[in-house]
Amino acid sequence: MEGEVNNFAMVWIAVLASLCYCHTVAKFIPKGAARFLAILPISIIFTLLPLNLTTMHLGATSSFFIAWLANFKILLFAFDKGPLYSNTPIPLSLFVPLACLPVKIYDHSGLELLLAMFGALARMIMQVELEPQFNEPYLATSLQDFWGKRWNLMVSKILKPTVFEPTRSISTSLVGRRWATFVGVLATFFVSGLMHELVFYTYGRQKTRGEVMCFFLIHGVTVCIEIGLKKAVNGRFRLPEMKIFEGAGMEGEMNNFAMVWITVLASLYYCYTIAKFIPKGTTRFLAILPISILFLLLPLNLTTVHLGAISSFLISWLTNSKILLFAFGKGPLSTTPPIPLSHFIPLACLPIKIHDHSNDQELKETPSQHTRQKQIKSVLNYSIKICLSVLLKKVYDYRQNFNHNFMLFLYCLHLYLALELLLAMLAALARILMKVELESQFDEPYLATSLQDFWGRRWNVMVSDILKPSVFQPTREIFSGLVGRKWATFLGAQATFFVSGLMHELFFYTYSRQKTRWEVTCFFLLHGVSLSVEMVLKKTSKGKFRLPGMVSRPLTIMYVVITGCWLFFPPFLRGNAEAKVCKEYRAFVEFVRNGLGCYSDRSGCRGCIAKRLKSGCPPCQQIMRCMAQCLWGGTSQSKCIKKCDCNGGYPKLVILKGEKFLHHSILVIGQRVSTVQALVTCLSVELMFAMLAALARILMRVKLEPQFDEPYLATSLQDFWGRRWNLMVSDILKPSVFQPTREIFSGLVGRKWATFVGVIATFLVSGLMHELFFYTYGRQKTRWEVTRFFLLHGVSLSIEVVVKKMVKGKFRLPAMVSRPLTIMYVVITSCWLFFPAFLRGNAEAKVCNEYRAFLEFVQNGRVISPNVLSCT
């Protein structure tokens, strides 16, 4: 079971990465054949991915979501059709669940959609290009920006020459130009209020109370005050567009952080995949170049010191350099044989390097003793550095009592300790995940005897290893033919320090958002020149003169600290980094307490889950809590007994009531499977989709359309398949199969017969997809019974449509007759053709085994304690 869960996780990680790729390419590739060709490999991957799963619950369900729903949705998306396309691009946070879950958002686009339709009609009639009516009003940074440049632009452009400018001209001679502007603004909002009162009266036919007029007058006065304040400060003060880790801003920053790293993972998956098809060299470089540009810009979505600066270092510098080297078959990502994806991603985005023991003779001779001594030293070393970091934070509370230069020295020490501890933690995480030995990132830089020793072998070794093949060696090779090997080495060193300076400028800009003064670049260029001079002196003396370590070490550290205090730390402190770090610590603690603290109210995860489900419908809260409790049993089963019948921790029969449900029964296969397989399937599938929709509603915070509309009340096959059973599939198959087939055959057999051909083609595709589901978990040779079942229903539905057109509504069976006939026909045909294939795969025994294996996996792994959840 553990292996199946791992496969399940990898499959869905691949799906999420692929959907991120589809969302990204849509920004650069227009709809049509080009986007279809870009998405086609993803479609093929989606068809094959579920075959990695063999269980019924994980395999068959994933096959439905991935090979069918997500596949058809992205194919429609390639041509700007289907639920993934909208007039305003769907954000990634909605795009992914809409693509891979059976959900559909209610359409409430309202005024913007209405104006867009009128604009499209006018464009067709007049054959001219029209300006948009709305310009993303939710991005407005002020009321003046909202009303003047973003909301209902046509009205703004009409009111300006008809109300604002005449009023201002008339009032100028009375109160002067300055005050006339405010009079014009108020007059404009007054007229707008009058027009809105007229609009409301037109459909309401009620006496106006002046509320709408007051709304627009309040906004007019507020806009005037806003304009006055802007003129008073004269651009010297401007509120930032984004909050930085304060209150709700922390949650927004965390969301941005998650989206940035999801995009990074998806991009790395793309790089890993194309390397299998595109050989190293210019072609692969061109394929990876857009990802490189994306990595430079991604961290700019983050504004905090901890998340922004660290992500900038990891993404814009390390990962970027590694994938560019990978494009030419160089760097740590290029190995023979190729490294697996589970190693490729952490190696790309973390500052780590796998340790090579091939030349480690000491380790070969006494491996256990060597390793033990190394580990003891490492633990002791890091313990001392953690204590020093804590001590420094206490010293900062009394910084007003210390000399400024001494504080700068402490900042240098703090920077070193913070970097080494951070990189050590990341390396430890990677070591646990990858189960390999990694090289250390710092080698006690305070023991450096020269600048060459400091920058090349002791300080941030991973960066040195990346800059050497990506900057130093190419620069040296290029200039060797021009100025000779000797001077080319110095130019390579300068280029390396120059690139390092530019990347540090990017880090500082990421969190400070201040115009750079190039001090950090000057710091690194100065060290580049100093290192070059040092190398010349060493070659000149030819080893005849060497300063003792007791002298060279303090001289080296003093030079680094002094130049750092002079050029490196001023821009760091100018960005108010110290205060920001303190605010971020407090905001993070507050965020964890309020947003993630399951035990803050002493109710454990029970209270946390109840709070998270508060926005969902009440029946879904009971369903999810009760089912979670029943999965484990426990001492609180007595509280759950009225809602469900627990049997030794195995769910058996649950009766649920609520809106959109007349009556639902869940018969979880753990006992003998009864003869009412069709009813069980209907209820199980509907409940599963309801839970997924409830989950999507909670995550996406949008209203979703139902997936089933009481199919047992269907009065005909057309009603059953078209309007009641699995509506998401119907909505997908209609534009992706039925409509294209009908259009193709309309010219061959006429519109009338083409409709029947489209119906048959739709049911054929549905049958083939069900055959794929059954093969996913059964792994047995198909007998095409399920395909025949759907073809039979396609033919039956076509005959039903013909009969309806022949009688032209003169004869209609009463619902009391048509409903049982319809359900009986569906049940009988499914028992004849559908369920034999279902049972031949030994589904009953597999379901029981999977439940027991899952329960054992959870109980042994202790993912969640049995007593955490309650149905109260």
Nearest to 385 by CA among 439, 438, 428, 425: 425
**Residue 672, pLDDT above cutoff 50:** no
- Residue 395: is its pLDDT beyond 50? yes
Let me know if residue 669 belongs to a domain: yes
Q: Is the dihedral of CA 614, 616, 618, 619 positive or negative?
A: negative
* 3-state SS class at 564: helix
Range of the domain at 666: 607-707
The domain total for the chain is: 6
Interval 746-760 mean pLDDT = 87
SS3 annotation, 460-513: CHHHHHHHHHHHHHHHHHHHHHHHHHHHHHHHHHHHHHHHHHHHHHHHHHHHHC
Burial of 699 (0-12, 13-18, 19+ CB in 10 A): middle
Domain edge (last residue) among 80, 105, 130 = 105
Give, as one character, the DSSP assignment of residue 91.
Answer: P
| Residue-wise DSSP of 366-389 | SHHHHHHHHHHHHHHHHHHHHHHH
Element (H, E) at 650: strand 650-658
The secondary structure of 725-765 as a DSSP string is S-HHHHHHHIIIIIHHHHHHHHHHHHHHHHHHHHHHHHHHH
Same domain for 468 and 586, yes or no, is yes
Q: Higher model confidence: residue 649 or residue 335? A: 335
Question: Which of 535, 534, 527, 519 is closest to 496 using CA atoms?
Answer: 527
Burial class for 286, CB neighbours closer than 10 Å (0-12, 13-18, 19+)? exposed
Position 590 scores a pLDDT of 64
First to last CA, the chain: 31
663 and 539 together in one domain? no
Residues 482 and 503 in one domain: yes
562 against 408, higher pLDDT: 562
278 occurs within a structural domain: yes
For position 499, what pLDDT does the model report?
86
- The answer to whether 204 and 196 are in contact (CB under 8 A) is no
Q: What are phi and psi of 105, to 5 degrees?
A: -85, 135
Instruction: Work out the percent of the chain whose per-residue pLDDT is above 90.
Output: 0
Q: Residue 450: which of 374, 336, 536 has the closest Cα?
A: 536
- Whole-number mean pLDDT of the chain? 72
Q: Are 451 and 534 in contact (CB under 8 A)?
A: yes
Contacts of residue 404, Cβ cutoff 8 Å, sequence gap at least 6: none
- 3 state DSSP class of 189: helix
**Residue with more model confidence, 116 or 114:** 116
Q: Is residue 829 part of a domain?
A: no
State how far the Cα of 502 lies from the Cα of 320, in Å rounded to an integer: 14
Q: Is 468 in contact with 544 (CB distance < 8 Å)?
A: no
The answer on 617 and 590 residing in a single domain is: no
| Residue-wise pLDDT tens digits, 806-828 | 887 777 777 788 888 888 888 88
Apex 108 CA angle, 105 and 111, nearest 5: 155
Q: Which helix (H) or strand (E) holds 656?
A: strand 650-658
812: in domain: no
Mean pLDDT of the 405-417 span: 74
- Using the predicted structure, report yes or no on whether residue 768 has a pLDDT greater than 50: yes
**Minimum mean pLDDT range among 283-292, 603-612, 758-767:** 603-612
Within this chain, do residues 450 and 588 fall inside the same structural domain, yes or no?
Answer: yes
Using alpha carbons, list the distances in angstroms from residue 593 to 250, 589, 598, 651, 781: 12, 6, 8, 34, 54
Residue 477 has pLDDT above 50, yes or no: yes
Q: What are the tokens at 45?
A: 């991957």
Using CB atoms within 10 Å of the CB of residue 116, give its burial: 0 to 12 exposed, 13 to 18 middle, 19+ buried.
middle
Same domain? For 682 and 553 the reply is no
- Interior angle at CA 330, CA 428 and CA 300, nearest 5: 60
Alpha-carbon span 371 to 378, nearest angstrom: 10
Task: Look at residue 134 and tell me if it is in a domain.
Answer: no
Angstrom distance (rounded) from CA 511 to CA 494: 27
Which of 233, 256, 290 terminates a domain? The answer is: 233
pLDDT of residue 847: 67
pLDDT (mean) for 406-411: 74
- Amino acid identity for residue 762 in this structure: T
Examine the domain organization and report whether 347 and 316 are in the same domain. yes
Rounded to whole angstroms, the Cα distance separating 80 from 87 reads 9
Instruction: In whole angstroms, give the CA distance from residue 81 to residue 90.
Output: 13
Query: CA nearest 763: which of 737, 726, 745, 800?
Result: 737
Buried b (16+ CB within 10 A) or exposed e, 169-198: eebbeeeeeeebbbbbbbbbbbbbbeeebe
Say how far apart CA 207 and CA 221 lie, in whole Å: 25
User: Do 450 and 559 sit in the same domain of this protein?
Assistant: yes
Tell me what pLDDT residue 130 has. 56
Q: What is the mean pLDDT of residues 622-637?
A: 44
**Is pLDDT of 777 > 70?**
no
Last residue of a domain, one of 184, 209, 233: 233
Q: What confidence tens digit (pLDDT) does each residue in 783-809 have?
A: 888 888 899 999 898 888 888 888 877
Give the DSSP H or E segment for 786.
helix 785-807
- 618 domain-assigned: yes
- How far, rounded to the nearest angstrom, does the alpha carbon of residue 462 sit from its chain's CA centroid? 28
pLDDT of residue 695: 65
H-helix or E-strand spanning residue 224:
helix 211-233
For the CA atoms of 338, 343, 346, 351, the dihedral, rounded to the nearest 10 degrees, stands at -70
Tokens of 613: 């489900």
Q: Where are the alpha helices (DSSP H) in 602-738?
A: 604-612, 618-632, 637-640, 677-700, 717-719, 727-733
332 and 408 share one domain: no
The one-letter amino acid code at 621 reads: Q
pLDDT by residue (tens digit) across 207-227?
Answer: 778 888 888 888 888 888 888
- The rounded distance, in Å, linking the Cα atoms of 192 and 683 is 53
**Nearest-10 crossing angle of helices 519-541, 549-563:** 160
Whether 367 shows a pLDDT value over 50: the answer reads no
Q: Which two three-digit tokens encode residue 150?
A: 């973003």
Least confident of 260-274, 594-608, 848-862: 594-608
Q: How far is CA 170 from its chain centroid?
A: 55
Secondary structure (DSSP) of 387-450: HHHHHHHHHGGGGGGS-HHHHHHHHHHHHHHHHHHHHHHHHHHHHHHH-S-B--S---GGG-SS
Kindly list the distances between the CA atom of residue 50 and the CA atoms of 3, 43, 44, 680, 783, in Å, as whole numbers in the listed order. 14, 12, 11, 24, 20
Highest mean pLDDT of the ranges 74-78, 405-409, 709-713, 758-762: 758-762
Calculate mean pLDDT across residues 72-95: 79
Q: Is residue 126, in this structure, part of any structural domain at all?
A: no
565, two tokens = 């205090």
Q: What is the pLDDT of residues 300-358, one digit of tens each?
A: 887 776 677 778 778 877 788 888 888 888 878 887 788 888 788 888 877 776 655 55
* Residue among 247, 242, 352 at smallest CA distance from 308: 242
Residue 638 vs residues 671, 712, 769, 871: alpha-carbon distances, Å:
21, 33, 43, 10
Burial pattern 488-518, b for ≥16 Cβ within 10 A else e, equals: bbbbbbbbbbbbbbebbbbbbbbbbeeeeee
Q: Which of 84, 91, 87, 88 is nearest to 105 (CA)?
A: 84
Q: Are residues 592 and 663 in the same domain?
A: no
Q: Which 8-state DSSP code applies to residue 355? A: -
Residues pairing with 658 in the sheet: 661
- Of 351 and 550, the structure prediction assigns the larger pLDDT to 550
As a residue count, the chain comes to 872
Pairing state of beta strands 661-667 and 650-658? antiparallel
In a domain, residue 498? The reply is: yes
Specify whether 591 is located in the same domain as 620: no
Q: What is the pLDDT of residue 40?
A: 87
* pLDDT in the model for residue 57: 66
Does pLDDT of 132 surpass 70? no
- Residues 158-207 have pLDDT tens digits of 677 777 888 888 888 888 888 888 888 989 888 888 777 766 766 566 77
Report pLDDT digits (tens) over 444-472: 788 888 888 888 888 777 777 778 887 88
Give yes or no: residues 447 and 554 share one domain. yes
**Which burial class, exposed, middle or buried, applies to 810 when counting CB atoms under 10 A from its CB (0-12, 13-18, 19+)?**
exposed
Smallest CA-to-CA distance from 442 within 455, 430, 431 is with 455
The pLDDT value given to residue 60: 66
